[in-house]
Amino acid sequence: MANKKECEIVQDLLLNYVDGLLNPESKKLVEKHLSECEECRESLKLIQEDTKRKDNREQIELDYLKKIRIKSRIKSILIALAIILLIATIIFLNKFAKVTSIMSRAEKTLQSNNFYKETTQILYDNSTSVTKEYYKDGKYKYVWEIYTDEGVEIKKIEYANIDSDERTYIYETEKRVEIEKNNISKMKNKTNSIKNVPFVIGRNNLFANIGTTFVYSIDTDTYANGKKCYVLHNRAEKDKWEIRIDKETGLPIKQITRGGEKIFYQDTNVVKSINDVVEEYKYEFNKVTDEDVKIPDISNYAVENKTS
């Protein structure tokens, strides 16, 4: 049986023994004593169990802290996502309101029963095409002119009535008339198809406006005459196309289709010109007279009847 003095020394060393901190000599001494002393073995067992419990508790506390940290991280990510979503929604609604305002303004403007529109387009051969549309109370006249340095040539004048299936084409220079019958009076939105305005026609409904909001970018610019206008681009092909819309009337004033035909200097690959298609539109209201939309005397013209 070991003596009390040795027991005291060994029990003092037991904590360090469990933690593996004893030098080999002391370790040997402790182990030798333990093999002989029941009481000290009991003490060792108690210390080991206590240590295990402590380790467990520390692990549990650590796990708890980790869980809290993960939870708070998820929370901040969700808050950030909610903020982004909120901002995106505000931007979308703001843009949607702009689109709706443009389209309803255009529709309102186009309800006019007296309406003149002029479209100018510079053609590749340095001539300019001008089309003039006169609309009054369901009747319209469409004049197509070509301007060159030699003067103006009227290519064609077209007359139509919204309630009639007949369209009359007058070719002034040839003293010739074509009368064409088709089913335009059965067409939906006849007035819109006659008021030949690009982009804004027939777009003023919820789904179209949502689509427009998604597809087009909308910037604001000042037009040459100092008026404010919107500049719309298809976001998928920003450099290819743009339309400028007057803020006041909601009507397009300029449309550019870029990257048209490239012309090269003869026998080279040097670009001489890039032919963008630029159309400009002018409008006037309440200036068209009955005379403007009335078919003139064509009794001495050659008349040709056509059905389509």
Chain residues binding Zn ion by CB under 5 A are 2, 7, 37, 39-40
Structure tokens at 201: 């026609």
The distance of closest approach from Cβ of residue 14 to Zn ion in the complex, given in angstroms and rounded to an integer, is 10
The distance of closest approach from Cβ of residue 45 to Zn ion in the complex, given in angstroms and rounded to an integer, is 13
Q: Which is nearer to Zn ion, 41 or 75 (CB)?
A: 41
Q: Which is nearer to Zn ion, 5 or 188 (CB)?
A: 5
The distance of closest approach from Cβ of residue 26 to Zn ion in the complex, given in angstroms and rounded to an integer, is 15
Q: Which residue is nearest to Zn ion (CB)?
A: 37
Q: Which is nearer to Zn ion, 40 or 170 (CB)?
A: 40
Q: Which is nearer to Zn ion, 7 or 298 (CB)?
A: 7
Structure tokens at 141: 């006249």
Non-local CB neighbours of 227 within 8 Å, separated by 6+ positions:
246, 247, 248
The distance of closest approach from Cβ of residue 27 to Zn ion in the complex, given in angstroms and rounded to an integer, is 16
Distance between CA atoms of 1 and 165, rounded to whole angstroms?
128
- Taking CA atoms, 36 is separated from 12, 27, 157, in Å, by 17, 15, 125
Structure tokens at 300: 């001495």
Which contacts of 284-288 are long-range, i.e. CB under 8 A and separated by 24 or more positions? 284/115, 284/116, 285/109, 285/112, 285/114, 285/115, 285/116, 286/112, 286/114, 287/114, 287/116, 288/114, 288/115, 288/116, 288/134, 288/135, 288/136
Q: Which is nearer to Zn ion, 14 or 200 (CB)?
A: 14
The distance of closest approach from Cβ of residue 25 to Zn ion in the complex, given in angstroms and rounded to an integer, is 18
The alpha carbon of 110 is separated from its chain's Cα centroid by a whole number of angstroms, namely 26
Q: Which is nearer to Zn ion, 17 or 116 (CB)?
A: 17
Kindly report the number of other CB atoms within 10 A of residue 284's CB atom: 12
The distance of closest approach from Cβ of residue 31 to Zn ion in the complex, given in angstroms and rounded to an integer, is 12
| CA-wise closest residue to 261 among 124, 129, 146 | 124
